[in-house]
Amino acid sequence: MNALLVASCNGQTKFVEKLVERMPEKALEKRGPGGYTALHHAAIGGHLKMAKALIRKNPKLTQITDNDGKTPLLCAVLLFSRHKLVRYLALKTTNEKPERPFSGCKGGDLMVNLTHMGFHVCDEDDPLETSDQDLGVEKQSQSNEAKTQVPCINKVTDKKLGHERACKLVHLCLEALLDYNERKRNEYFDKQKILHFAARCGVVEIVTASLHYFPDLIFSEHGSLILKNAIQCRQEKIFNLACKKTSLDKMFATMCYEPSISHLAAKLPIKRRLSDDSYAASQMQREMQWYKAIERIEHPRMRQLRSEEGKTGFECFSENRKQMRENAEKWMKDTSDSSMLVSTLIATVAFAAAFTVPGGNNDRGIPIFLNDTSFAVFFYSDALALFSSVTAILMFLSILTSSYKEEDFHRALPKRMIIGLASLFFALATMMVAFGAALAIVLSEKIRWVWGPIIFLASFPVTLFFRLQLPLFIEMIQSTYGSIFQREKIWRLSGNPDAAGPLY
């Protein structure tokens, strides 16, 4: 090793700058152990000034590779050097022959690691194929003047930009595969398992782009694997994509799994997808929605096919979800028990308040404050509290007396729970209004400013209950009334207008 290599290896930037001024251009290309040049050492150590001095003297240093075929840029990226240095090396490195650092396997590693570091391709030309263009790299900086200073908006903007640039990178890679012949292209997709992992992870953009550039993939083994992986991993977006064309619906539904696609749906999904639902009944409901959706794209004849154990798809579904159904049943009963207790208390108080009106009655049994506005508020809110609490009791009672079959968790039980919780919330709110009106009737003559504290104190428990139960309530409404599947039934009889509908 000469003095330049020793100095660059030890991070002596000023000494390297002085050596570069006195050394000839060709001497800077001398290699040390591992085939590293001085620029390799600068890239690995993250020394931007040192790299600039070396490249100004000899721009060819960016193209020299070490014994493993890695350029200084790739070394810097793999070892997570400073972003400014990586950006500078990326702008100075070209894709010229014979090294062509942005092509081949090394080029793929470089692009992937650049993306992991937060850099994204921004040049309109293809960096994988361009020989006379530098790689355009854009690093998003916190000091960017175009960015807003609101943190929450920054996060949304960063996420959106990252998604757009990731999609652009996918298109660049797929365009590079257009030069491959069909055999090599199929070998590449088979080896890398691109569609397999994309379908399992729910990355619909990669699946869509791959089928856009290479439509013949849909008729290969990859096509059936898309639907199979979507069902196994419960990826509704991939499922919707795979079922966009009627002919493919029928083909996949018969070829995806033996003996039928409903047997595939009967299997339990991976645990990660089940844990996305916050409560046990939601898991069972989502599983029923999936099974119903898959059953809708399946020919009715195939629903009667049996597995090697002699069971139909739904029989396998019920057997595999026995524990899940028990957990969902327990959750429904516990929630209904506690909610019905509160509803009963509200109904009792509201019923008693109707006959013990504030201020009392006159000699004829007529309330003394009958003509006051506060009394009207008390009377109507008390009546509404009674009616809504009784409605909630009936809903929760119907849940407790249910048979808890698998189909009940699809629509019936969630609907009753939604109505019960909504009625309970309304009963609690109207009861607090009645209580506030009663206090106002009694105290308004002596304490005229009593309305303010009453409204504040009465709204506190209502707001607290609303905040605690709102996430559960919204999730139940979305899972019950908001379809995640956007296809129509394909095995429908001609002339039957009612055959179409959401897949759930």
> How does pLDDT run across 199-210, given as a tens digit for each residue?
888 888 888 888
3-class DSSP assignment, residue 119 = strand
* Helices 48-57/13-22 angle, 10° precision: 10
Instruction: Determine the pLDDT at residue 497.
Output: 39
| Whole-number pLDDT of residue 132 | 38
Report whether pLDDT(122) > 60.
Answer: no
In the chain the domains, ranked by start, together with CATH numbers, are 3-143 (1.25.40.20), 174-322 (no CATH), 333-481 (1.20.140)
Residue 394, pLDDT above cutoff 70: yes
Closest CA to 267 of 232, 230, 311: 232
Residues 6+ apart with CB under 8 A from 110: 73, 74, 77, 101, 102
* Higher pLDDT pick, 22 / 165: 22
pLDDT at 62: 87
* Band of residue 97 on the pLDDT scale cut at 50, 70, 90: confident
DSSP state of 257: S
Terminal CA-to-CA distance of the chain, rounded, Å?
71
Whether residue 102 has pLDDT greater than 80: no
Whether the CB-CB separation of 367 and 357 falls below 8 Å is answered with yes
Rounded Cα–Cα distance for residues 333 and 285 (Å) = 16
pLDDT over 70 for what percent of the chain? 76
357 or 253: which carries more pLDDT confidence?
A: 357
Contact at 8 Å (CB) between 33 and 60?
no
102: helix, coil or strand?
coil
**pLDDT given for residue 391 in this prediction:** 96
Mean pLDDT of 109-132: 57
Higher pLDDT, 194 or 335: 335
Tell me the β-bridge partners of 139: 119
> Per-residue pLDDT averaged across 242-256, rounded?
57
> For 272-306, what is each residue's pLDDT tens digit?
555 555 678 888 998 998 888 888 877 777 778 88
Rounded to two decimals, what is the model's pTM? 0.66
Mean pLDDT of the chain: 78
Residue, of 446 and 92, whose pLDDT is higher: 92
Q: Is the pLDDT of residue 453 over 80?
A: no
Average pLDDT score over residue span 340-367: 82
Residue 480: CA count within 13 A, CB half-sphere = 20
pLDDT of amino acid 404? 92
427-444: average pLDDT: 84
**Tokens 């000023």 sit on residue:** 14
The overall longest dimension of the chain from CA atoms, in Å, is 118
In terms of pLDDT, which residue wins out, 225 or 396? 396
Nearest to 435 by CA among 372, 500, 378: 378
Query: What pLDDT shows up at residue 95?
Result: 77
- Give the CA count within 13 Å in the CB-facing half-sphere of 346: 31
pLDDT band at residue 386 under the 50/70/90 scheme? very high
- With a cut of 70, say whether residue 371 has pLDDT above it: yes
Does residue 197 or residue 498 have the better pLDDT?
A: 197
* pLDDT tier for residue 164 given thresholds of 50, 70 and 90: confident
pLDDT computed for residue 491 by the predictor: 36
For residues 459-470, average pLDDT: 84
Residue 504: the pLDDT is 43
Residue range 300-353, pLDDT digits in tens: 777 788 888 888 888 888 899 999 999 999 999 999 999 999 999 999 999 988
Could you tell me the CA-to-CA distances from 312 to 286, 302, 306, 319 in Å, in that order? Answer: 20, 9, 5, 11
Res 389: pLDDT = 95
| Residue 496 pLDDT level (bands cut at 50, 70, 90) | very low
Query: What does the pLDDT read at residue 265?
Result: 84
